[in-house]
Chains A and B, each alone.
Chain A
């Protein structure tokens, strides 16, 4: 099965019943699969007029209580940024898939990149936090899509599946379980205000039609959901909570793999380049090479870097000119070396071996 198809199957298995999207290479197969499958599953597929409208429709659908998602690539992701901020501010659980291609602008439509890793963290204005997952196989296109819906619901936050053209378009064997466990947002308790948070900073959810009248606004609002745009404390309380509810749960959200924790030279990867690192480690059985592979990149699990107590250098192959490497650099004292590659092709094992020999 193709990666993009597996993503759509994961969404369907997770109970996604709304897809609003605008097709864009290299993500189009997700929309195609959803268009074919959703109506038969009792869901709704809408081909929207553009990406601004797509994410708006997804937010609206999520507020009816549906699991909702859209899929796009860089140019569409840029267009979605305004309403992604709105989703963060209104604490709307939804999933946005970005099958990354070469940018900036329309760039390389058919080629792979990981150039939107900071955009998915900081792309909309103002302070907020979100969750981003990075699959490295067709199986993970399925598994992490399921997981993205769960995280979106648990934390009431727009959640990103940051794939790339390589995992989106390659075909591998996938095991699809008969059913997957799906959470749903904690319902709003009777007597609670619509944006009154629990001890984890997360309010209960009362979608439209649930019997509670909820005012939803992108303006700074109080616990009732009513705008309160001039009180410094109201703004501080709300926005600080939006960030803290994610950042304080970094350990609960974290998902990563550790290989050879005793190693002195450690690769840190996410997405497709991790496959090349795994090949290099496999091909050099006597050589102690560490590998931290992140399946969740935001919130950034800085504690995972401590799993390598002997590390003398961290190497970071990315399909960009060095993005997540900055995040690693600010958390460790050791040198952190970027191994950037752009143009659309995955690092080859030989390229990583020469980087290894140069920097260890």
Chain B
């Protein structure tokens, strides 16, 4: 089944990297197919950033994301630019402290940035917390696959911090899903 995942936030949060990590987990470690694309423009740190991934069990023909069924939104501007047209049956993970708006579709509030800052001591791993929450809430890729993809993608010496962030994300995702 084809899934379309869109990540949005501001430049510097690791939005594109999040999309790359998810695609890598699916394509290299879960035996699925994935295509990752992004809005590639002159946006700099602070501007709205967007990365997206198509994941499917079968080879992916049309490579672009047309109508995502999963969103990960990490800034208000990102929501306004890329999240307002979410379809009703979509799922949206929102960094609760950074996004004021709420969509019409199902939304999970994940305090990823707050958690990264306080519990983990490094705001920079907020995107990894969010990825953990995404995987726990949607099971779009396996936890083993995402763990390996994170380890592939982070700088040497930060592996423990990032895996801690990912696992904290799993917990937040599980908690958000509970009725």
Residues of A within 8 A of B (CB): 26, 109-110, 165-166, 169-173, 272, 275-276, 278-279, 282, 345-346, 348-349
Query: Looking at chain A's contact residues, is the secondary structure mostly helix, strand, loop, or mixed?
Result: mixed
The contact of B40 among A169, A278, A349, by CB within 8 Å, is A169
CB-nearest residue of chain A relative to B37? A170
Question: Known contacts being A275-B61, A278-B61, A279-B61, is A171 close to B36, with CB within 8 Å?
Answer: yes
The contact of B27 among A169, A173, A348, by CB within 8 Å, is A173
Can you identify 5 A-B contacts, CB atoms within 8 angstroms? A110-B40, A172-B34, A278-B61, A345-B64, A349-B66
The contact of A26 among B33, B37, B40, B66, by CB within 8 Å, is B40
Question: Besides A170-B36, A171-B34, A172-B34, 13 other CB < 8 A contacts?
Answer: A109-B42, A165-B40, A169-B38, A171-B23, A173-B28, A173-B33, A275-B61, A275-B63, A278-B61, A279-B61, A348-B64, A349-B62, A349-B66
Which B residues are CB-close (under 8 A) to A276? 61-62
Q: Are B61 and A173 in contact (CB under 8 A)?
A: no
The contact of A170 among B35, B42, B61, by CB within 8 Å, is B35
The complex places the Cα of A110 from the Cα of B40 at a distance, in Å, of 6
CB-nearest residue of chain A relative to B38? A169
Residues of B within 8 A of A (CB): 20, 23, 27-28, 33-38, 40-42, 60-64, 66
Q: Are A282 and B37 in contact (CB under 8 A)?
A: no
Q: Are A173 and B38 in contact (CB under 8 A)?
A: no
Closest 7 CB pairs of A and B: A279-B62, A279-B61, A171-B36, A278-B61, A173-B27, A110-B41, A170-B37
CB-nearest residue of chain B relative to A272? B63
CB-nearest residue of chain B relative to A172? B35
Question: Known contacts being A110-B40, A110-B42, A165-B40, is A171 close to B61, with CB within 8 Å?
Answer: no
The complex places the Cα of A69 from the Cα of B20 at a distance, in Å, of 28
The complex places the Cα of A51 from the Cα of B72 at a distance, in Å, of 41
Question: How near does chain A come to B149, taking the closest CB pair, in angstroms?
Answer: 12
Which A residues are CB-close (under 8 A) to B23? 171
Question: Known contacts being A275-B62, A275-B63, A349-B62, is A173 close to B40, with CB within 8 Å?
Answer: no
CB-nearest residue of chain A relative to B31? A173
Question: How near does chain B come to A78, taking the closest CB pair, in angstroms?
Answer: 22
Q: Are A166 and B34 in contact (CB under 8 A)?
A: no
Q: Are A282 and B34 in contact (CB under 8 A)?
A: no
CB-nearest residue of chain A relative to B20? A171
Question: Known contacts being A170-B35, A171-B23, A172-B35, is A282 close to B61, with CB within 8 Å?
Answer: yes
The complex places the Cα of A279 from the Cα of B28 at a distance, in Å, of 23
Which A residues are CB-close (under 8 A) to B20? 171
CB-nearest residue of chain A relative to B62? A279
Which A residues are CB-close (under 8 A) to B66? 348-349
CB-nearest residue of chain A relative to B41? A110
Which B residues are CB-close (under 8 A) to A172? 27, 33-36, 60, 63
Question: How near does chain A come to B174, taking the closest CB pair, in angstroms?
Answer: 29
